[in-house]
Amino acid sequence: MTILPIRLFPDPILRKKSKEIDNIDLEILEFSNNMLETMQYAKGIGLAAPQVGRLVRLITIQVPECEPLIMFNPYVNKKLGKRMIPEGCLSVPGFTGIVERSISISATYIDKNKGKIQLSATELLSQAIEHEIDHLNGIMYLDHLESHEKLHKTGITPDDIHWHDVAYKVSINKDNATKMDLETEGIIERKIELSKIKSDGSIEEASFDV
Ligand SMILES: [Zn+2]
């Protein structure tokens, strides 16, 4: 087992789209176990492969009191309802934001035994799956914020991490872009001025980073 280094925003790899996994071989299984261990070590409840530097469609999730999940090629088939909830991310340590997520989803993925699994999820599990699949498409929870005011310092930022204004933009190759890709581009062309974000004790600290 190996603890993998977690890439931090604004590392450009977090903005790239991950590829489908054609073959679940021993190497990728070992990598998925390392991801699980890295996620647990970092006290996160979810981790996506790009966060540890590899652009493949693989996520790990473990919500409290549930078995850990390793999901190859996951996708959401159905989303129901909307809710606003606090969210954090292992790649954006020390911040939490209020984002819109579904109330429930159903998802499909391949498990480590190469079985195709259908899963219905609500609450934290649903939120974590949506968050991690976003990572596979180069989307971060910051993109779902309605405004900077919806992002808050949690007060646990390590002193050695220096935050500054970050302008970021994703370019999508429009030759093969789907309508969704173009909408995504519209969403993620924005500037986050992290230095303007103030701590706000009135916001309940997000207990989980995903
Ligand atoms: Zn994340």
Q: What's the pLDDT at 65?
A: 86
132: annotated active-site residue: yes
pTM of the model: 0.77
The answer to whether the CB of 38 falls within 8 A of the CB of 4 is: yes
- Over residues 81-99, mean pLDDT: 90
88 C-alpha to ligand 1 centroid (Å):
7
Q: What's the pLDDT at 59?
A: 98
134 C-alpha to ligand 1 centroid (Å):
8
Q: What's the pLDDT at 160?
A: 34
191 C-alpha to ligand 1 centroid (Å):
18
Q: Give percent of the chain with pLDDT exceeding 90.
A: 60
pLDDT, greater one: 160 or 202: 202
Tokens of 89: 């991310």
89 C-alpha to ligand 1 centroid (Å):
4
51 C-alpha to ligand 1 centroid (Å):
7
CA dist 154 and 198 (Å) reads: 10
47 C-alpha to ligand 1 centroid (Å):
6
The answer to whether the CB of 172 falls within 8 A of the CB of 181 is: yes
93 C-alpha to ligand 1 centroid (Å):
10
Half-sphere exposure of 127 (CA within 13 A, CB side): 22
What does the domain layout of the chain look like in residue ranges?
Answer: 12-196
Tokens 């005011």 correspond to 149
Which uninterrupted H or E stretch holds 33? helix 26-41
pLDDT, greater one: 159 or 101: 101
8 C-alpha to ligand 1 centroid (Å):
10
- Over residues 59-74, mean pLDDT: 95
* Whether pLDDT at 192 is above 90: no
Between vectors from CA 179 to CA 178 and to CA 184, what angle results, nearest 5°?
95
- 120-161 pLDDT tens trace: 999 999 999 999 999 999 999 988 886 665 677 665 444 433
- Over residues 30-57, mean pLDDT: 96
**Is 12-196 in CATH node 2.40.10.10?**
no
Q: Give percent of the chain with pLDDT exceeding 70.
A: 71
pLDDT, greater one: 188 or 89: 89
Catalytic pick from 27, 100, 132, 146? 132
Q: What's the pLDDT at 180?
A: 59
